[in-house]
């Protein structure tokens, strides 16, 4: 692996609205995230953590500051290139699952591969194995409303990893789940981390953050704490950081 | 990828069955009405064409008394007549150089025909001259038409139309079997010497429900001899001479009858009347098609409306799709395919309904299925879906992923 951080944020600011009603969601955030890190971003509601996640996920652009993804300044990418990045490099897991309604688990997981232009036979194979990896190999033909919350979130995880992205971004992934499903989902994130992916989890729950090797706290749009938790998930790469 | 777009679009259509069905119905009605209304237009045009063919070529029809067109509506005042002397005057090449042939007719009204105990009343029983068959375009299928010799001999011979035979002997009657048989018409006995070839309806009346005999004979037997005729069919020397022949007929008749005015004789240049009518029919067809086309357009606006609703309703879904890597083109194609599919399904149902609809007689016209109308209507329906789908689809495709995802 190169020493270039997979994600490098430099003085990122994000403001909404004009003049008097301006809201500063982010006020100069600078973070480097190395390849293979397991990171939790914590903060109270309104601290700007979702905005940060949207910027990291290339769903939104910062008002100011620079964002390098694998060394490439994201501001220079056009909408097509951004689409490709979201498709191949980043897998999203949302609090509300965000599965396509009335569409089977299999079709949901297959969709990113459709957009990636993968051939049908390969698509089927990869979608199936992604669902099997989250323990839903027997639920391929279930639509979201036939699945429990935990199962829906596991489908969403399968969809996030089916294109084999190096980064998995999760926004309050366990916010809508009971404790048992939470454990299952978090175990999957641990697994993704072990596979060598960069896992970024946004949460306000301490037990979720505890699993991560590094925790960043935000308050009022600024980083107030950046700690590495010891005795955690001895991944070979963690020690190699800064 | 194309196949996937269709699957995704179909899923969208099926997800909202009621809404899709109603949208489809709009297009379906549009397409069906184009097919049926154009069919009605061309059906009535075909009827006029048939009438035109039944008339014979370059002919004028002269009726004495004229019709009260407009005011009073169609009453016939018989203050003037066409006499044998008029016919002679018209035959004079000096007076009327553009007239080639004259076919005078005398009608016998309500003459009942009886054959082998069966009876019928032919619509027309007429006495005429031997050139009737060729000028009026009534060829004989079995037997023969009467000759000048029959005419001169005042022979009791008659040529009948196929409907008369069928009315007497039944639908399955062998038309040739009546040739040579005696028939009683108006109480007098005639010998059937021929049966006309079936012409069918001219759109107004059955052209085969008639009995034709020599003019000399009908005056002896059924109508009496008043020295007048009921009508004239005049054949002009050639197709270009009908208008000249028309004015010659009028001037000769007015010279013959000093006290008559121009409106007392109705000289119908039916060929030109009918070709005018055919022209009108074309206009009529275009007009009907245009009205139907407007309903198709309205159906298209319905598609756009529904697609806009669908896009708004599925904004969040669009956001999800963009988050997992859908490109502008993927979203555009998805909604465009959905719109075209809606319109296409409506179009196909409309073609089925329209073709089924042309099996019924509408305002006494048997509509014709015009292939061009079917293809045009279906093609226009699909095009409508495409055209009215572009705006909503483009709106969906250009949504920013973050705005779409935040949409509740």
Q: Are strands B157-160 and B210-214 parallel, antiparallel or unpaired?
A: antiparallel
Task: Quote the pLDDT of residue B238.
Answer: 80
Q: Whole-angstrom Cα distance, residue B51 to residue B63? A: 18
Kindly provide the b/e burial profile for residues B160-181, where b requires at least 16 CB atoms within 10 angstroms of the residue's own CB: bbbbbbbbbbeeeeebeebbee
**How many residues are recorded in chain A?**
242
Q: In which element (H, E) is residue B184 found?
A: strand B182-185
Of B1, B4, B402, the CB nearest to A60: B402
Angle at B80 between CA B75 and CA B83, to 5 degrees: 130
Query: Lowest-pLDDT range, A60-74, B275-289, B303-317?
Result: B275-289
Task: Quote the pLDDT of residue B144.
Answer: 92
**CA dihedral in degrees (A128, A130, A136, A140; nearest 10)?**
-30
Q: A105: pLDDT confidence band, cut at 50, 70 and 90? A: very high
Task: Quote the pLDDT of residue A239.
Answer: 39
Q: A202: pLDDT confidence band, cut at 50, 70 and 90? A: very high
DSSP B328-341: HHHHHHHHHHHHHH
Residue whose pair of structure tokens reads 């060929």 in the numeric block: B271
Q: A230: pLDDT confidence band, cut at 50, 70 and 90? A: low
Q: pLDDT tens-digit profile of B234-266?
A: 888 887 788 888 888 888 888 888 777 777 777
The three-class DSSP label of residue B25 is helix
Gap from A87 CA to chain B (nearest CA, Å): 4
Task: Quote the pLDDT of residue B147.
Answer: 92
Q: Whole-angstrom Cα distance, residue B360 to residue B232? A: 38
Q: What percent of chain A has pLDDT over 70?
A: 93
Kindly provide the b/e burial profile for residues B296-331, where b requires at least 16 CB atoms within 10 angstroms of the residue's own CB: beebbebbbebbeebbeebbbbbbbbbbbbbbbebb
The three-class DSSP label of residue A66 is strand
Say whether residue A101 is in contact with chain B using an 8 A CB cutoff: yes
Say whether residue B327 is in contact with chain A using an 8 A CB cutoff: yes
Q: Whole-angstrom Cα distance, residue A52 to residue A50? A: 5
pLDDT exceeds 90 at position A216: yes
Residue B347 · residue B377 · CB < 8 Å: yes
Q: Whole-angstrom Cα distance, residue B143 to residue B177? A: 10
Task: Quote the pLDDT of residue B75.
Answer: 43
Q: pLDDT tens-digit profile of B115-132?
A: 888 899 998 899 999 999
Q: A11: pLDDT confidence band, cut at 50, 70 and 90? A: very high
Gap from A79 CA to chain B (nearest CA, Å): 8
Round the average pLDDT of chain A to a whole number and report it.
88
- Tokens, residue B108: 């016998």
Q: What percent of chain B has pLDDT over 70?
A: 92
**How many residues are recorded in chain B?**
408
Q: A165: pLDDT confidence band, cut at 50, 70 and 90? A: very high
Task: Quote the pLDDT of residue B275.
Answer: 72
First to last CA, chain B: 29
Residue B107 · residue B223 · CB < 8 Å: yes
| Residue from B382, B365, B194, B224 nearest B299 by CA | B382
Of A98, A99, A116, the CB nearest to B325: A116
pLDDT exceeds 70 at position B71: no
Q: B69: pLDDT confidence band, cut at 50, 70 and 90? A: very low
Q: In which element (H, E) is residue B249 found?
A: helix B242-256
pLDDT exceeds 80 at position B55: no
Q: Which residues of A touch B320 (CB under 8 A)?
A: 98-100
| Residue from A231, A200, A232, A206 nearest A93 by CA | A200
Q: Are strands A64-69 and A7-16 parallel, antiparallel or unpaired?
A: antiparallel
The three-class DSSP label of residue B196 is strand
CATH superfamily of A36-54+78-240: P-loop containing nucleotide triphosphate hydrolases (3.40.50.300)
Task: Quote the pLDDT of residue B96.
Answer: 85
Task: Quote the pLDDT of residue B344.
Answer: 92
Q: Whole-angstrom Cα distance, residue B261 to residue B250? A: 10
Gap from A83 CA to chain B (nearest CA, Å): 5
Q: Which residues of B touch A84 (CB under 8 A)?
A: 325, 327
- Tokens, residue B221: 């037997």
The three-class DSSP label of residue A65 is strand
C-beta atoms surrounding A180 within 10 Å: 9
Helices vs strands, H then E, count in chain A:
7, 10
pLDDT exceeds 50 at position A1: no
Q: Averaged over B168-197, what is the pLDDT?
A: 90
Q: Averaged over A48-70, what is the pLDDT?
A: 92
Q: Averaged over B342-368, what is the pLDDT?
A: 89
pLDDT exceeds 60 at position A166: yes
Q: Which residues of A touch B330 (CB under 8 A)?
A: 115
Q: B183: pLDDT confidence band, cut at 50, 70 and 90? A: very high
- Tokens, residue B213: 């005999």
Say whether residue B324 is in contact with chain A using an 8 A CB cutoff: yes
Axis crossing angle, helix B371-397 with helix B270-313, rounded to the nearest 10:
20
Task: Quote the pLDDT of residue B57.
Answer: 63
pLDDT exceeds 90 at position A42: yes
Say whether residue B401 is in contact with chain A using an 8 A CB cutoff: yes
Say whether residue A165 is in contact with chain B using an 8 A CB cutoff: no
Q: Whole-angstrom Cα distance, residue A78 to residue B129? A: 92
Enter the ipTM: 0.89
Q: Whole-angstrom Cα distance, residue A110 to residue A120? A: 9
Task: Quote the pLDDT of residue B65.
Answer: 62
Residue B82 · residue B267 · CB < 8 Å: no
Q: pLDDT tens-digit profile of B288-325?
A: 888 888 888 888 888 888 889 988 988 999 999 999 99
**CB-CB under 8 Å, A98 with B326:** no
Task: Quote the pLDDT of residue A20.
Answer: 79
Q: Whole-angstrom Cα distance, residue B291 to residue A171? A: 56
Residue B120 · residue B143 · CB < 8 Å: no
Q: In which element (H, E) is residue B251 found?
A: helix B242-256
In terms of Cβ atoms closer than 10 Å to its own Cβ (0-12, 13-18, 19+), residue A78 is exposed
Radius of gyration, alpha carbons of chain A: 18
Q: Whole-angstrom Cα distance, residue A218 to residue A6? A: 20
Of A59, A111, A159, the CB nearest to B402: A59
Domain ranges of chain B: 2-51+276-406, 102-235
pLDDT exceeds 90 at position B175: no
Of B4, B320, B327, the CB nearest to A83: B327
Task: Quote the pLDDT of residue A123.
Answer: 93
Of B11, B325, B402, the CB nearest to A115: B325
């Amino acid at each position: 692996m190169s020493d270039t951080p997979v994600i490098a944020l430099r003085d990122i600011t994000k403001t909404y609205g004009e003049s008097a009603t301006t809201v500063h969601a982010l006020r100069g955030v600078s973070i480097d995230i190395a390849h293979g890190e397991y990171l939790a971003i914590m903060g109270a509601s309104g601290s700007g953590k979702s905005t940060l996640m949207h910027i990291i996920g290339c769903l939104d652009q910062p008002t100011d500051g620079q964002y390098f993804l694998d060394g490439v300044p994201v501001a220079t990418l056009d909408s097509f290139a951004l689409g490709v990045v979201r498709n191949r490099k980043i897998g999203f897991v949302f609090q509300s699952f965000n599965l396509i309604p009335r569409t089977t688990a299999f079709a949901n997981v297959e969709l990113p591969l459709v957009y990636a232009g993968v051939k049908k036979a390969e698509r089927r194979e990869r979608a199936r194995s992604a669902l099997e990896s989250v323990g839903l190999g027997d639920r391929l033909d279930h639509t979201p409303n036939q699945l429990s919350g935990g199962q829906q979130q596991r489908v969403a995880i399968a969809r996030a990893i089916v294109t084999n992205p190096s980064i998995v971004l999760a926004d309050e992934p366990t916010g809508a789940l009971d404790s048992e499903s939470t454990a299952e989902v978090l175990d999957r994130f641990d697994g993704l981390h072990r596979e060598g992916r960069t896992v970024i989890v946004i949460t306000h729950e301490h037990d979720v953050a505890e699993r991560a090797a590094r925790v960043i706290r935000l308050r009022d749009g600024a980083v107030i704490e950046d700690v590495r938790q010891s005795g955690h998930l001895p991944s070979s790469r963690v020690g190699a950081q800064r | 990828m194309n196949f996937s777009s269709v699957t995704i679009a179909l899923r969208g259509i099926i997800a909202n069955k009621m809404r899709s069905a109603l949208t489809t119905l709009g297009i379906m009605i549009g397409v069906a009405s184009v097919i049926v209304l154009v069919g009605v237009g061309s059906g009535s045009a075909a009827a006029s064409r048939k009438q035109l063919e039944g008339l014979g070529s370059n002919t004028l029809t002269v009726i004495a008394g004229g019709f009260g067109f407009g005011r009073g509506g169609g009453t016939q005042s018989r203050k003037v007549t066409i006499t044998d002397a008029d016919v002679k005057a018209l035959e004079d090449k000096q007076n009327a150089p553009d007239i080639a042939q004259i076919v005078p007719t005398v009608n016998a009204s309500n003459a009942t025909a009886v054959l082998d105990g069966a009876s019928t009343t032919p619509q027309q029983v007429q006495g005429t001259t031997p050139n009737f068959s060729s000028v009026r375009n009534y060829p004989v299928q079995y037997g023969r038409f009467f000759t000048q010799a029959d005419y001169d001999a005042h022979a009791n011979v008659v040529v009948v139309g196929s409907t008369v035979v069928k009315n007497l002997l039944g639908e399955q009657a062998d038309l040739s079997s009546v040739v040579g048989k005696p028939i009683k018409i108006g109480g007098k006995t005639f010998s059937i010497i021929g049966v006309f070839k079936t012409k069918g309806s001219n759109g107004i009346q059955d052209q085969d429900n008639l009995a034709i005999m020599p003019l000399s004979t009908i005056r002896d037997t059924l109508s009496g001899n008043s020295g007048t005729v009921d009508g004239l069919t005049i054949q002009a020397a050639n197709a270009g001479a009908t208008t000249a022949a028309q004015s010659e007929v009028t001037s000769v008749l007015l010279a013959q009858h000093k006290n008559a005015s121009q409106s007392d004789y109705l000289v119908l240049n039916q060929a030109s009347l009918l070709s005018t009518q055919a022209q009108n029919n074309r206009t009529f067809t275009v007009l009907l098609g245009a009205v139907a086309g407007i309903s198709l357009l309205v159906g298209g606006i319905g598609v756009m409306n529904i697609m806009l609703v669908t896009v708004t309703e599925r904004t969040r879904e669009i956001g999800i799709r963009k988050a997992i890597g859908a490109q502008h083109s993927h979203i555009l194609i998805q909604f465009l395919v959905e719109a075209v599919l809606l319109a296409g399904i409506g179009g196909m149902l409309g073609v089925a309904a329209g073709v089924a609809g042309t099996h019924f007689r509408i305002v006494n016209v048997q509509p014709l299925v015009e292939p061009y109308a079917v293809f045009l209507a279906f093609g226009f329906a699909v095009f409508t879906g495409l055209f009215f789908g572009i705006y909503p689809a483009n709106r969906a495709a250009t949504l920013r992923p973050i705005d779409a995802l935040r949409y509740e």
